[in-house]
Structure formats: structure tokens, C-alpha cells
Amino acid sequence: MTRIVMSGDKPKLPIMSLEDEGVMAILKKVRISIAWTSLLGLTVVCFSLLLTSETLAKTFYVSDTELKANVRTGSGFVRRIIAMLPSGTRVTLITEEGGWAEIALKDGRRGWILKRYLSDRPAWRVTAQKLATENQSLQQQVINLKHDHQTLLQEKTKLETDLGDKSQKLKGLQKANDNMKTSYNLRWFLGGAGVLLTGWILGFWLGRMRRRRTSDRYRL
């Protein structure tokens, strides 16, 4: 309770009792609790809206069609056409209304298209074209590999031919070297034999001359 103390005719400021202070503390805690609860509830709401928007925003593709699909400003054939999408165009689904769907284009514009023109899978025509392109690329790679293989075979044949020629030249050089060694040894042999023969002839002639002189001396 609040008590007012009077002193003469001048009122003084009210003095709070312990009970009043306890009530004020409780009120303060209640206010803080309410503030935190409100903040938590706002966070949950924002998070839920974010999840909802991400869930609704799905990727779709314009289905196979001979003509381009019209994108209008609203859900109705009387609405103005703002774009014409070919088969396989990727779009983002925002919301649905009856047989129409609101989509977002790559350039940021939004429009409405008939739901029957949308598919959650890429159009078969686009997939077939992509596969054809990949097949053509693989075929070109095979051609390049065959060309590289043929080039390697030619280089291998050339290296084998060069190796054969060098082997023949090496054999010729070895044979020539052997012939030179044989001729060199033969010259040394013939030279030594000639020296021996010359020495033998010279010795034989000198011995004969000595014997002749000795014979002539005895005759005298």
C-alpha cells in the first residue's frame, strides 16, 4: 500500500511500501516475459512464411508443344500476352489458380500460363536434343582418338624403321672394326714374319760366307 505523509499543509511525495515494490517487480517480469514471447512468436511466423514461400516456389519446365506457350498478365485468355515460351523453358512456379499457374521468368517478370503446359521434368525434345549433342561430342572424341591412334602407329613404325637402319649401320661399323682389327693383326704378323725371315736369310748368308772363307783359307 502507498502511504502519504502529511507535514503541515505541504504534501510530500508518496513513499512505497515493500508490498508495492514486490508488485512492481512482478509486473516488470511479466512485461519482459510478454516481450520475449512476442519476439519468439514473430520469429516463428517469419520462419513459417519463409518455408511456405520456398515450398511453393518450385521449378517447372514448359512441356512438349509444337507452338510456343503464351504467358499472360493474368489468369484468363482475355489477358495481354507478355511472353511466348518455347518447349523446355525453365520457369519458377509461384501459385496456382484454377487451370492457370503464376510463374516467374528468368528476367524477373511474372505472368500466368496454362498449367497443362507445365511439367516437373524437362521436355523430351530438349532432353533428346541434349543427348544428340552429347552423342555428337562423343563421336567427335572417338574420331580424335582414332586419329591420335593412327598418328602414334605411324610414329611407332617410323621409330622401328629408324631403329632398324641404325642397327644395320651399327652392324656395318662393327664388321668394319673387326676387319680393321684383323688387317692390323695380319700386318703385324706379316711384319714379324718378314723380320724373322730376313734375319734367317741374313744369318744363313753370313754363315755360308764364313764357311766359304774358312774353306778358302784351308786351301791356301
Q: Is the pLDDT of residue 145 over 80?
A: yes
| pLDDT band (50, 70, 90) for residue 171 | confident
Tell me the domain boundaries of the chain: 13-55, 57-122, 123-167
As to burial, measured by CB atoms within 10 angstroms (0-12 exposed, 13-18 middle, 19+ buried), residue 69 is buried
Structural element, H or E, at residue 16: strand 15-16
* Average pLDDT of the residues in 112-125: 85
* Average pLDDT of the residues in 4-17: 48
Cα(137)–Cα(129) distance, rounded to whole angstroms?
A: 12
Q: Is the pLDDT of residue 56 over 70?
A: no
- Structure confidence at residue 217 (pLDDT): 63
The predicted model scores a pTM of 0.38
* Average pLDDT of the residues in 96-118: 92
| pLDDT band (50, 70, 90) for residue 68 | confident
Q: What is the CATH number of domain 57-122?
A: 2.30.30.40
* Average pLDDT of the residues in 61-89: 87
Record the cell numbers describing residue 113, joined without a space.
500460363
The pLDDT tens digits of the residues spanning 196-220 come to: 888 888 877 777 777 776 666 666 5
In order, the DSSP letters of 73-125 are SSSSTTSPEEEEEPTT-EEEEEEEETTEEEEE-TTS-EEEEEGGGEESS--HH
